[in-house]
Structure 1
């Protein structure tokens, strides 16, 4: 129970708990119609509350204990067998984020992230490169679409990358619940579908940004050009480009830029201040017969001299500073992953099948979207008192968890301790029997 003194203390630091609770209930009401039955409707509220809690680990076991359940069966049923569509909730997330962070100059950022996994049964897992580890590991990789606006950013779509080793093995796909007939799709193809889905839904966004995986792909670039959507996509140093003087690699063109052509510009504010680099641009040719403006943009680190390259397209002429701003927004995808993986459990799922993966990831995205929107509203409506920085999503989560955290008695915690130990004992015995049976 929260006392008058608690609320007075909150007010002293610029926190209005009632507004957050009201916003949370509004979000839950927004998605309530997606659940035909009242039981999953209540359960999803408990799960989202658990994802917004300060639990050190977030999975069906810990979320069920946090909700006061006797076993994790209800949470597991919600993710595996209950009747509801994760894609419908995804559409609700997109509408919610756009409604509150609306920006006609927004950037749609495409990027992938991986979760390290053991074994071979989890959907989409194989040995592959993942930036999470910085090397080839046994991992599950997914592509995300982040809506990056002036007021904040949040993921609005996701697509699990299913390698050829899976799509060429129908029995393995059926075992993981992958829909029949799912064809292999590259990461740029997944990104193109998500961007198209967002734009077709009327999402206000002028630009698309991404790293070399997406910039080096001609089909993604062509799809964006056909839609007259601008892009600033990183490309490799050997990426081929056509100019009036012929065809050259990006690094070759960069070497010919005169020193007077470089400009000192900020790619946006970072944790330690503005991120200043030297920038330059070179006009390049687009596809024959196409209308628009194409450029190679080069970024130079002012301390080390290291270069990065971006292929850019805009339907109309724009200044170099506008392209730099878009390039700087690409890092909001990394910030979104960081804010989703720990605080809202994006990577802590312990699910193996296609449906349950999409459901867990979508609900984790919803929890992060709530934090992003709430932080944006706080910055707009309730500026921080003197001497305090504005409330961040992470700080809001800590405070929100304290405000809504349920309190359970010792008997509840002891029952869960017994349940966990029984389950772990059965698992241990099962593994031992399997190991003994496999011995010669």
Structure 2
């Protein structure tokens, strides 16, 4: 597929040796394939290698620039999605969506591992967290364009831990809000511009991040907690919850607007906005129509940009695609299946997953109009269904499956047999060493 060739050719300058660049291409092809799990062994087998050594070397020791690779992926995604949007009469908003996603891990040896809240598990669990920046082009598509792993301060404070986890010397502790600043700084350095930045509460509650966007004249719609303090005028400060209870009791202050189209239709909510003492800063409140649950967004729009409730609502409704992007990255490309332990290896696996996702996201966007044959949506509740419903446009997972069939790597006839034997031999060797280790332990009955 032409899209894959475009991006992989861009990445060539990021690699010192041609062989390493070619193996990175085979790694990406393995991520796009339909293998059930994507770890060092399965990726090496899919790539046509006889052992996992080359795959492990690519992630750990090979000489290539992961940050430059991420920059090329970022430019490819933005240029590709903007190119599709440019062919439309309504080009839509350009959104930067900040969020984090976790990976459950066992033990204590993996870089950044800690017992912490993992969104993927919905609870406290042992794992690692990575902050991501996604680019969302309204009505076109979305993909990840930057990532930084969050590493606990106690890991960076211990020299032995830093060495064991392969963390570069001099790396300072960064909060998730500060990592978000780093990601946006990288995007700005590549010439990427956003109409709005959106994010969940951990970023909305970060004063340093909000001040960074204010200094950059960057509009944002960031979720904040109900306890977030607002300055309404020179004498009054109160929480978001109290401000809504005081100023938004009149139903005429609420407007029912769609937060955008979902798979089941328009997502309708009631919205209200409250001005603050700071010019161009507002509190945007979303109310669920059935449950009445409230969500709070702290907003900023510079003086040279249009400020309307409709525009803020559109921006707030465009944060959710980052969740879908995480789902695709994990289910289709193995973002959370990497078994690497060292800092560099985890970062390199992440950027190669971003590469696979970028290829499929841009290809799906380019094919969207040509592959969308859906019947028109119903106008009345009692309307009869169409005789032919048509088909939705190609999604990222379907585009990955299509690409996998055209990107198949030819392998020797005995390739699968070799890998079955290699795995059994490696497992036998590992079992023997585990048994020997147990012989050296001293066991005693508990009193």
Shorter-chain TM-score above 0.5: yes
Q: Is the 8 A contact 2:260 2:266 kept in 1?
A: yes
Quick one: distance in 2 between partners of 1:39 and 1:147?
A: 31
Quick one: distance in 2 between partners of 1:185 and 1:240?
A: 24
* 1:229-378 matches, cutoff 5 A: 229-244=218-233, 246-256=236-246, 257=248, 258-286=250-278, 292-316=279-303, 317-378=306-367
Moved more, 353-362 or 397-406: 397-406
Query: Which residue pairs with 1:53 in the alignment?
Result: 33
1:219 has 2:208 as partner: yes
Quick one: distance in 2 between partners of 1:265 and 1:434?
A: 65
Moved more, 35-44 or 423-432: 423-432
Question: Deviation at 1:383?
Answer: 4.7
Query: Which residue pairs with 1:28 in the alignment?
Result: 8
Cα–Cα, structure 1 residues 342 and 381, in superposed 2: closer, same or farther, change >3 Å?
Answer: same
User: In structure 2, which of residues 402, 414, 419 is the aligned counterpart of residue 416 of structure 1?
Assistant: 419
SS in 1 for 2:300: strand
1:438 has 2:430 as partner: no
Quick one: distance in 1 between partners of 2:47 and 2:174?
A: 38
What per-residue deviation string (whole Å, max 9, x for no partner) do you get for residues 96-138 of structure 1?
0111112783111111110000010100001111111111111
Q: Is the 8 A contact 2:196 2:315 kept in 1?
A: yes
Question: Deviation at 1:382?
Answer: 5.5
Aligned positions, number: 415
Quick one: distance in 2 between partners of 1:177 and 1:274?
A: 47
Question: Deviation at 1:439?
Answer: 3.0
Q: Is the 8 A contact 2:361 2:396 kept in 1?
A: yes
Quick one: distance in 2 between partners of 1:368 and 1:75?
A: 19
Query: Which residue pairs with 1:80 in the alignment?
Result: 60
Question: Deviation at 1:253?
Answer: 1.1
Q: Is the 8 A contact 1:57 1:348 kept in 2?
A: yes
Quick one: distance in 2 between partners of 1:400 and 1:439?
A: 54
Q: Is the 8 A contact 1:232 1:312 kept in 2?
A: yes
SS in 2 for 1:391: coil
Quick one: distance in 2 between partners of 1:267 and 1:392?
A: 21
User: In structure 2, which of residues 100, 103, 126 is the aligned counterpart of residue 138 of structure 1?
Assistant: 126
SS in 1 for 2:295: strand
Quick one: distance in 2 between partners of 1:254 and 1:410?
A: 69
- Using structure 2 for the length normalisation, give the TM-score: 0.90
Q: Is the 8 A contact 2:369 2:393 kept in 1?
A: no
Unaligned residue ranges in structure 2 (runs of 5+)? 83-90, 376-389
Question: Deviation at 1:374?
Answer: 0.3
Question: Deviation at 1:420?
Answer: 0.5
Query: Which residue pairs with 2:75 in the alignment?
Result: 95
Query: Which residue pairs with 2:142 in the alignment?
Result: 153
Query: Which residue pairs with 2:50 in the alignment?
Result: 70
Question: Deviation at 1:436?
Answer: 3.6
